[in-house]
Amino acid sequence: MKILHTSDWHLGHTLYNYDRSQEQEDFLRQLAEIVRHEKPDVMTVSGDIYHYSTPSAATQKMYTEGLLNIHKACPEMAIVVTAGNHDSSSKLEIDSSLWQHFGVTVIGNIERDCENVNLARHIIAIENGKGEKKGYVIAVPHIYPQNFPVLDAGTPREERQPRFFQALLDETEKQNTERLPVVLMAHLSITGSDRSGHDESIGGIDYVPLEDLGKGYDYLALGHIHCPQDIKGSSRRARYCGTPLPVSFDETYPHSVSIVELNGHEEPLTRTVAIENPIPLITLPHTPVPFEEALKQLEEYPGDKQAYIRLNVLIENYLAPDCNERAANAVKDKACKYCYIKSNREKQAADDSAKHLSIQEIQEMSPLDIARLYYRETEGEEMDEELCGMMGDVLRQIKEKPQSF
C-alpha cells in the first residue's frame, strides 16, 4: 500500500497580518501534481487543516477547491482527513456525507451513543481502482486525553486514551483476515519528539508515550509537530511528516510531504517530496548585529525578491521607538514584507552556550531558581533583589494557602 502522508496545512494562517493565501493555494496545486505523479492508494491528512477553528469563507473555498483538484488528479486514491487541535471538528465534518462521493472520509470527532462508541467509523478499508483491498486506515482525530470515551467501566481516566487506541487496533485485526497493512492516524505530541521551531503559541498538547498508541499498526501517520521526523525507537513506523509551509520564522528546516510504501508488515519505505514556498521566511542577518547594520542589509535587499523578513538585532538595552517604522519604510517600494525585529541582548547573545538542563535537574530546582534562570535568559541580566523578594512572598503565600479538593 502506498500512502501520501501530509498534515498541518494551517490554511488561513496569516503572518504578522500578511495574507498567505497565495502560498497556500500554491501548495495545494503542488500537492495535486504530486498525487498525479505518485498515484498513492491513500492520502492521509493528519489534522490542522485550518489555522483557525472558524475559517473564513475564502479559506473554506480554498480547501474545497484544493481537495477536489487533488481528487481529480487521482480519482482512484482514497483521502482520509482528521481534525487537529486547530480545527473545529463539527465544522470539518459538516460536508462529510457529500465528500464521500469523492472518495474523501472526514473524521472530526468520536461518535458516541449513550454508552456505545462507534469504533467502526474510524476504520477505513482502502481499495485500489480495481476494487482490490490494499489495507486499512484507522483515523483518530485530536482528542484531549481527559475526553476519550469510557470503553470499560473499570478503566481509570488516565488509561482511557491508550485503551481507545488499542480497542481500534484490535477491532481492525478482527476485520483484517488477509493480514494487510494497517495505518494509524493521530494528532498529538509523542514523548521525545523534536519540536524544533514549533511556535508554542499555535497550540500545545501534552506529551504522549509512543506505547500508549497501542500495538498492531504498520505505520503511524502523525500530525501536530511541525518538524518532519521519524520517532526514535519506532523502527521507522511512526513519523511526523511536518508542515508543508513554515508557520513561523524558526521553522528553518525543509518542508515536504512524505511518501510511504508498505509491503506487508515489513519496515516502511519512506521518502519525502519537497514543497517549494514562493515567499520564503528570512531572518536577516543570520547572526544578530546592531540595528543600523541590520537596517542597512534590509535596505540592500533586492527590490524584486519576495520574502517575509525579520531583522535579527543585537541590543545593549532597548530599541529606539522608531526602529520598526524605519524598517517598514526601508521596504516600502519592495516586493519583500517586513515583519518584526528579533531582539537579542548582548549578554544573551554571548551566552549561546548556556547550559541545557535536563527534566530531572529542573525538578530539583526551586520555583524561585527557575524564575531567576528564566529572567537571566530572557533579559540578559540577573533578577534584582526587590523582584526576588516579591517572588518569594508570592510563593510563600501560595504554599501557605489551604488546599481544597
* Cα distances (angstroms) measured from residue 348 to each of 106, 288, 315: 47, 11, 10
Label residue 324 exposed, middle or buried (CB < 10 Å: 0-12, 13-18, 19+): middle
d(CA 258, CA 369): 43
Domain ranges of the chain: 2-274, 281-349, 354-400
Q: Determine the pLDDT at residue 171.
A: 97
d(CA 25, CA 65): 9
Residue count (the chain): 405
Range among 3-12, 341-350, 375-384 with highest mean pLDDT value: 3-12
Q: Determine the pLDDT at residue 360.
A: 60
Provide the grid cell at 17: 497580518
* Cα distances (angstroms) measured from residue 32 to each of 43, 50, 68, 74, 275: 11, 18, 9, 8, 12
State the pTM of this model. Answer: 0.84
User: pLDDT-based confidence at 18, cuts 50/70/90?
Assistant: very high
Indicate whether 405 pLDDT > 50.
Answer: no
Task: Say which range, 141-155, 215-229, 260-274, 285-299, has the weakest mean pLDDT.
Answer: 141-155
Q: Determine the pLDDT at residue 205.
A: 64
Tens of pLDDT, residue by residue over 341-370, are: 999 987 655 555 455 666 666 766 778 878
d(CA 136, CA 183): 6
Q: Determine the pLDDT at residue 396.
A: 73
Q: Determine the pLDDT at residue 357.
A: 67
Summarize the confidence of residues 297-324 as an average pLDDT: 94
pLDDT more than 70, % of the chain: 91
Tens of pLDDT, residue by residue over 137-171, are: 999 999 998 889 888 888 888 899 999 999 999 99
d(CA 161, CA 155): 10
Are the beta carbons of 219 and 2 closer than 8 angstroms? no
Of residues 405 and 85, the one with the higher pLDDT is: 85
Q: Which CATH superfamily is domain 2-274 in?
A: Metallo-dependent phosphatases (3.60.21.10)
